Amino acid sequence: MSDVDFQQLVDQQYAPLYRFALTLAKSEADAADLTQQAFFLWASKGHQLRDRSKAKSWLFTTLYREFLGRRRHEVRFPKIELDEVPEEEMSISPNLNALDSPGVLQALREVEEPFRAPLTMFYLEQFSYQEIANMLEVPIGTVMSRLSRGKALLRQRLLSKAEALGNKVVSFQSNKGEESHGQS
Amino acid sequence: MDNREAKFFLNAYRPGGQDANDPRFAEALNQARCDPTLQRWFDESVAFDAAITEKLCAVPVPRDLRESILAGVKVSRRLRWPKPFIRWAIAAMLVLSAILGSLIWHKTGPTHLAGWQSEALEVMSSLVRNRSTFDAQSRNPTELLAWLHKNDAPAAQRLPENLERLESLGCKTFPWNGIPVSVICFMRPDGGLVHLVTTRASAGVEPAIKGKADVVQRGGWSTVTWREGDKIYMLALEGSPDQLRAYL
* Structural domain total, chain B: 2
B170 vs B149: CA distance, rounded Å: 14
Based on the domain organization, do B82 and B196 belong to the same domain?
Answer: yes
| pLDDT reported for residue B82 | 54
The distance of B69 to chain A (nearest Cα, Å) reads: 5
Residue at which a domain ends, from B17, B39, B57: B57
Based on the domain organization, do B41 and B117 belong to the same domain?
Answer: no
- The boundaries of the domain holding residue B237 are 65-245
Based on the domain organization, do B118 and B228 belong to the same domain?
Answer: yes
- B11, B56, B73 ranked by CB distance to A124: nearest: B56
pLDDT truncated to tens, each residue of chain B (248 aa)? 788 888 989 999 987 778 888 888 889 999 999 999 999 999 989 888 988 998 998 898 888 888 888 877 766 655 555 556 666 777 777 777 777 766 654 444 345 677 888 888 888 887 777 677 888 888 889 989 999 998 889 998 888 888 888 888 889 999 888 889 999 998 888 777 899 999 988 766 665 555 565 788 887 889 988 888 888 889 999 888 888 888 88
Q: Which residues are registered as beta bridge partners of B195?
A: B185, B236
B139 vs B83: CA distance, rounded Å: 14
| pLDDT reported for residue B110 | 40
Residue at which a domain ends, from B57, B85, B100: B57
Residue at which a domain ends, from B16, B36, B57: B57
Is B203's Cβ below 8 Å from some Cβ in A? no
Q: In three state form, how does the secondary structure of chain B look?
A: CCHHHHHHHHCCCCCCCCCCCCHHHHHHHHHHHHCHHHHHHHHHHHHHHHHHHHHHHCCCCCCCHHHHHHHHHHHHHHCCCCCHHHHHHHHHHHHHHHHHHHHCCCCCCCCCCCHHHHHHHHHHHHHHCCCCCCCEECCCHHHHHHHHHHCCCCCCCCCCHHHHCCEEEEEEEEEECCEEEEEEEEECCCCCEEEEEEEECCCCCHHHCCCCCCEEEECCEEEEEEEECCEEEEEEEECCHHHHHCCC
Which residues of chain A register pLDDT less than 50?
73-74, 76-91, 168-184
Based on the domain organization, do B179 and B92 belong to the same domain?
Answer: yes
The distance of B71 to chain A (nearest Cα, Å) reads: 10
The one-letter code for the residue type at B156 is A
Based on the domain organization, do B190 and B238 belong to the same domain?
Answer: yes
| pLDDT reported for residue A147 | 92
Cβ–Cβ gap B52/A154 under 8 Å: yes
Based on the domain organization, do B148 and B89 belong to the same domain?
Answer: yes
The distance of B141 to chain A (nearest Cα, Å) reads: 20
B209 vs B226: CA distance, rounded Å: 6
Based on the domain organization, do B87 and B28 belong to the same domain?
Answer: no
Phi-psi region of B118 (alpha: psi -120 to 50; beta: other; left: phi over 0): alpha
Based on the domain organization, do B116 and B170 belong to the same domain?
Answer: yes
B118 vs B137: CA distance, rounded Å: 23
| pLDDT reported for residue B145 | 92
Based on the domain organization, do B86 and B147 belong to the same domain?
Answer: yes
| pLDDT reported for residue A18 | 93
Interface of A with B in 83-112 (CB under 8 A): 93, 96, 99-102, 104-105, 108
| pLDDT reported for residue B107 | 44
Q: What is the CATH number of the domain that holds B168?
A: 3.30.200.100
Based on the domain organization, do B53 and B173 belong to the same domain?
Answer: no
| pLDDT reported for residue A72 | 58
Is B50's Cβ below 8 Å from some Cβ in A? no
Tell me the pLDDT tens digit for each residue of B86-118.
Answer: 667 777 777 777 777 666 544 443 456 778 888
B234 Cβ contact partners less than 8 Å away, ≥ 6 residues apart: B117, B120, B196, B197, B198, B223, B224, B225
- B44, B49, B178 ranked by CB distance to A172: nearest: B44
| pLDDT reported for residue B181 | 92
Cβ–Cβ gap A148/B73 under 8 Å: no
Beta carbons of B133 and B182 less than 8 angstroms apart: no
- The ipTM, to two decimals, is 0.72
The distance of A103 to chain B (nearest Cα, Å) reads: 9
Is B157's Cβ below 8 Å from some Cβ in A? no
Nearest to A44 by CA among A25, A65, A58: A58
> Considering chain A, what percentage of its residues have pLDDT values greater than 70?
73
Based on the domain organization, do B88 and B146 belong to the same domain?
Answer: yes
| pLDDT reported for residue A84 | 45
pTM (predicted TM-score): 0.52
| pLDDT reported for residue B183 | 94
Q: In chain B, which residues have their Cβ closer than 8 Å to the Cβ of A40?
A: 72-73, 76, 135
Question: Is A97 exposed, middle or buried, given 0-12, 13-18 or 19+ CB atoms closer than 10 A?
Answer: exposed
| pLDDT reported for residue A82 | 43
**Element housing A144 (H / E):** helix A140-164
Based on the domain organization, do B165 and B220 belong to the same domain?
Answer: yes
Interface of A with B in 137-166 (CB under 8 A): 143-145, 147-148, 151, 154-155
Tell me the pLDDT tens digit for each residue of B166-187.
Answer: 888 889 999 888 889 999 998 8
Nearest to A93 by CA among A26, A171, A151: A171
Residue in chain A closest to B175 (alpha carbons) equals A30
Alpha-carbon separation of residue A122 from A111, A125, A145, B11, B22 (angstroms)? 14, 6, 13, 10, 16
**Element housing A67 (H / E):** helix A55-71
Nearest to B196 by CA among B136, B229, B238, B237: B237
What are the DSSP calls for A21-54, one per residue?
HHHHSSSHHHHHHHHHHHHHHHHHHGGG-S-GGG
